[in-house]
Structure 1
Amino acid sequence: MKQFIKGLFFFIFPILALFIILEILVRDSNSLYKEKWKEYTAKADSIEILVLGNSHAMNGIDPREFDLFTYNMAFGSQTIYFDKAITLKQIKKMPNLKYVLVSIDYHSLYYTHNKARDIFYHYYYKIDYNKKNYFIEDLSWVYALGFKQTIREHLQRGKTNSYNGFVPHNTTNWSVINTPSAEKRVEQLEAGFREKNNIINNLNEFIKTLKKEKITPILITLPCHKYFNENLNKDIVNKNLVEINKISDFYDVPYWNLTNKKYPDSLFYNVDHLNIHGAKKISKELNIKIQGLNNVL
């Protein structure tokens, strides 16, 4: 019996030791969420323009092109729920905040949250979706994330070197600038569509809070490639426009729709994301628009 217990110990101990080492490494390792939040909170008192939204904004709005100090807190698959929470958690620490750019894209009014990514907001931002309890996930990050994701997303990640939260694509991925890729991308987005009432309520409450704090919300829709636009459900596009314009009119906030302009392929990374050159161009245009608002206010 003693030999069995001894053998079992020597079998389990290396596995347990590896698990503990992985747990320590993961909790201490860098991640883009961790990196952005640390910089966001450190620079909070300097921020005059805050950028929110999903990867369209994260990759498509370059803070370096604005006259006012800008920080980009957009992230891939980030929803309006987290846009609101990220801002309100720090709003009292941003005394110079004047404008909040809220990216409203084709799918923004139909995505409540991304279950796979909610855990990162809990770990790094201390923000929980609908007050979810993460007791088990707090006991073990490796268990919560899964072994493959732990290795892929954490242990191999160095510092991203973003520019005030902006994470650019430096080139164009020509292999996906085509109609089949656009069709597939639209299908992926529409597969996640949910009831939008709660999302719109969240957006309304967010706008009201910002205006109460004397901060100007600006709703924007960033450009996508023509192949992407051609494959969108026109009824959904029109309903989105009606909804956004209604909100814009009711709260008297700007809505800048940049999807109507024709931009060359060289400004896109893929069919629905700008590359660094596209981000530079669009950010310059947004800066001019904001300067126009500054002159009026």
Structure 2
Amino acid sequence: MRKFIKNFLLFLLPILATFFILELLVRKSNSLYREKWEGYISKSDSINILVLGNSHAMNAIDPREFDLFAYNMAFASQSLYYDKEIALKNIDNMPNLKYVLISVDYHSFHAKHNEARDIFYHYYYGIDYGNKKYFFENVSWVKTLGFKQTIREHIPRSKINPYRGFDFSYDSTNWNVMNSLEGKKRVEQFENSFINNEKDVINNLIDFIQVLKSKDIIPILITLPCHDYFTSHLNKDIVKNNEKTIKQISDLNKIEYYNFIDSNYPDSLYYNVDHLNKHGAKKISKKLNGIITSLNKN
């Protein structure tokens, strides 16, 4: 029996050691979440413009094109809930913050909360969704992220080096998906995630805006350019309702809203049907810089 236990422990030991090493590696591994957050914290006292939103803003707003010091904390599938939490968690450390750009898009008020992303905000930002608990997720990152995904994605990552949160690796056009059919698929992908949660999302956004204004920070709502291959398939009733809601929010809180969705940019400025590449980002960022420069003079 002792021999069996000894052999079993000898068999188990390298497995446990491997798992322990993987756990250490994945907790220290690089990710765009980690790099953006570390830059956000380290540059807090310099930030004049904070960019928030989903991948539309993540890809489209280049801090290099602003006269004031801008930082991009938008991320793929990021909801307005996390936009608010990201800003408020660090707001007392940003004494020079003047403007917050908040991206509101076709799906912003309607999409189902993406639970799969929650763990990354918990791990890298220290932000939890509501009262959600993460006991088991904290015990093992490897188990939570998945063994295969850990090996394939999380451990081998090298430094991404985003510039003030902006990932400028989208430098061309993916011509394989630049067509009307792909635009229709993309719209359907959004609409398949729609649920009736507009009231909570809108109230949360209004509360966020009011907190910013109470601190003499100017919120600016924006909708970023998307290709006609995408916009031509949008549900007109949803678009109209979104525009009505955004107007009510902006009028109620006396803030500016800029809608650039139908900018008619050439295909070469898009990465795909609803995201700009870095060349498109340069163009729209220059326009936003002009707007903020004018506001800053008043």
TM-score if structure 2 supplies the norm length?
0.97
State how far apart, in whole Å, the 2-side matches of 1:131 and 1:69 are. 34
Aligned residue runs from structure 1 range 1-297, under 5 A = 1-111=1-111, 113-168=113-168, 169-194=170-195, 195-296=197-298
SS of corresponding position for 2:167:
coil
CA contact 2:222–2:258 (8 Å) conserved in 1: yes
Q: Which amino acid aligns with 1:181?
A: E
Higher deviation after alignment, 185-194 or 82-91 = 185-194
Alpha-carbon deviations, 1:182-213, whole Å to 9, x = none? 11111111121122111101100000000000
Aligned length: 296
Q: Residue 60 of structure 1 contacts residue 279 of structure 1 at CA under 8 Å; is this kept in 2?
A: yes
- State the alpha-carbon separation in 2 of the partners of residues 81 and 120 from structure 1: 14
What is the alpha-carbon distance in structure 2 between the residues aligned to residue 234 and residue 27 of structure 1? 45
State the one-letter code of the partner of 1:82: Y
CA distance in 2, matches of 1:8, 1:76: 45
Which residue identity does 2:190 align to in structure 1?
L
Distance in 2, Cα, partners of 1:251 & 1:112: 26
Runs of 4+ in 1 over 6 A off after TM superposition: none
1:270-294 Cα distance to aligned partner (Å, 9 max, x none): 0010000000000000001111111
Aligned-partner residue type, residue 254 of structure 1: E
C-alpha RMSD over aligned residues:
1.1
Give the gaps of 5 or more residues in structure 2.
none
Distance 1:153 1:49 in 2: 32
* Matched position secondary structure for 2:222: strand
Alpha-carbon distance in structure 2 between the residues aligned to 1:139 and 1:81: 26
Q: Shift of residue 112 of structure 1?
A: 5.5
| Alignment check: 8 A CA contact 1:177 1:271 kept | yes
Please give the alpha-carbon distance, in whole angstroms, between the structure 2 residues aligned to 1:269 and 1:202: 31
Deviates more, 1:189-198 or 1:92-101: 189-198
Q: In structure 1, what is the Cα distance between the partners aligned to 2:152 and 2:164?
A: 24
Write the deviation string for residues 133-179 of structure 1: whole angstroms up to 9, x where unpaired: 11111110111111122123311211111110011311100000011
**Separation of aligned partners in 1, 2:167 and 2:146:** 25
CA deviation string 1:61-95 (max 9, x = no partner): 00000000000000111111110001001111111
Checking the alignment, whether the CA contact within 8 Å between 1:81 and 1:113 is kept in structure 2 is no
User: Contact 1:80–1:112 at 8 Å: present in 2 too?
Assistant: no
Residue 157 of structure 1 aligns to a residue in which SS? coil
